[in-house]
Amino acid sequence: MRFFSMRFLILLWFTLGWMTAQGQLSSRLSAAMETFNTDAQLKYALSSLYVIEAETGKAVFDQNSNIGMATASTEKIVTAATAFDVLGKEYRYETRFGIINTPRGKSLYVDPSGDPTLASWRWEETKDIAFLARLKAAIKEAGIKELNSIVIYTGNWGAETIPDGWIWQDLGNYYGAGAQAVNWRENQFDLVLKSGAALGSAVSVVKTIPHLYDYPITSLATAAEKNSGDNSILYYPSMGRKTGVLTGTIPAGQTSFVVSGSIYDPANQFAKTVINSLKGVVRFSNDKVATTDKEVKDVKWVYTNSSPELSKIIYWFLRKSINLYGEALLRTVGLKEKGMATTDNGIAAIQEHWKTRGVAPDALHLYDGSGLSPQNRITTGAQVAILKYARQQSWFVDYYEGFPLYNDMKMKSGTINRVKGFSGYQKAKDGKEYIFSFLVNNYNGSALSLVRKMYKVLDELK
């Protein structure tokens, strides 16, 4: 009886200690958020913070956890977790190359997979030089000397290039590259610029890296003060134009100032790069790229290119917040679950997937897979639920590894106009582990100032 009483007292002591510690954290977070909410930067803003204890799932702090918020790139934690669960950590994209007969002779047939890493510079094996060398060797080994053209099958991916809800100012810039059946060099190029010495003088285009086929850039940009930074915007062709347009300003006196843009037609860029690289091995009689939504059955396959495994793709997706990867992953999930790689299918698949895991579809109103659309609305409650689910899965180590380190905390950040967010995991000094999501919409003032104030709240979890 005495032994039972001692065990009960010890258990009671630990329970009271845990409740006291958790109560203290809740009080500290309440005080920190009260200060945060009354700050002048938040006068017209909406904020949501949801924190749970990782092991038990018990709520430690809850402010607006059921309110849909614009998430910016914190949405990527949802896309990444879904891709791991649906596709598997070892999933690889495969792009197949073969020879087909056409009325005008044999052509190179490409069966793409939406691989967002084709010619990416992030891995040695995916770089354009490495890929082109492998393709060239395979064509040479097959004994192919002459081809009419390149035919790209787009049946599973359709003609969609960007998701609905993306804004015009984003599309021409590197982060505004959408996913297509064929993606090339992350659908990104560098624009090298030269500015005059005088304020207001013209900015001229020196070159693009790589060379862009059939896509000239016109500069309407001007020179600003020397330390003004990059305030330029690249626009896609519009209103009858056949060129991209650069507007805004860059600093005066620059001879090789670099801004990055999104490739307008990655399939054309890919195909003409391939044709050019195969010179000396294969003679093409036509450099026009043809696409077809009809799958060719009689193909002599000569080469299959594989991407890095999904876990490596998601590492860079989360660590460097690559929007293209998010759109490719979303559409790939749509293809796997719905039979067609569209954004709408991917969104429906995500909502259905998480509904069976306790997250209401209305808590996940999505327009894309990356968070670039300002129309996305996700609750912090949903984000935390998905983070908690991920922690219990076999792929969690790879998922967690991709989270960047901000403020000495493993968390994914998100930034679009007047939106800032952080979502992730934190282990406190006492060993307790927490999962959190912190979103702010429509704040005033500078993002840097707001981030410092958000860090001050999150510091309570350390």
Asked if omega into 210 is within 30° of 0 (cis), the reply is yes
* pLDDT of res. 23: 76
**Six-digit token string for 321:** 């917040």
Where residue 165 falls (left for φ over 0; alpha for ψ -120 to 50; beta otherwise) is left
What global pTM score does this model have?
0.94
DSSP letter (8 states) at residue 427: E
Residue carrying the six token digits 């005080």: 31
Distance CA 451, CA 186 (A): 29
* pLDDT of res. 269: 97
Distance CA 180, CA 118 (A): 12
* pLDDT of res. 157: 96
Report yes or no: 377 and 70 within 8 Å, Cβ to Cβ.
yes
Q: What is the CA radius of gyration of the chain?
A: 26
The strands making up 257-262's β-sheet, listed across from edge to edge, are 203-209, 188-195, 257-262
DSSP string, 30-98: HHHHHHHHTSGGGTT-EEEEEEEETTT--EEEEESTTS-B--GGGGHHHHHHHHHHHH-TT---EEEEE
* DSSP-based three-state secondary structure for 152: strand
CATH 3.20.20.80 fits 23-89+311-461, yes or no: no
Distance CA 154, CA 444 (A): 45
Instruction: Give the residue extent of every domain in the chain.
Output: 23-89+311-461, 92-165+265-308, 185-262
DSSP letter (8 states) at residue 285: S
Q: What does the CA dihedral 397, 399, 405, 407 come to, rounded to 10 degrees?
A: -100
Distance CA 421, CA 170 (A): 19
* pLDDT of res. 240: 73
Q: What is the pLDDT along the chain (462 residues), one digit of tens a residue?
A: 554 565 554 554 454 454 555 679 999 999 999 999 999 999 999 999 999 999 999 999 999 999 999 999 999 999 999 999 999 999 999 999 999 999 999 999 999 999 999 999 999 999 999 999 999 999 999 999 999 999 999 999 999 999 989 999 999 999 999 999 999 999 999 999 999 999 999 999 999 999 999 999 999 999 999 999 999 999 999 877 789 999 999 999 999 999 999 999 999 999 999 999 999 999 999 988 999 999 999 999 999 999 999 999 999 999 999 999 999 999 999 999 999 999 999 999 999 999 999 999 999 999 999 999 999 999 999 999 999 999 999 999 999 999 999 999 999 999 999 999 999 999 999 999 999 999 999 999 999 999 999 999 999 999
Which tens digits make up the pLDDT trace of 47-70? Answer: 999 999 999 999 999 999 999 999
* pLDDT of res. 241: 79
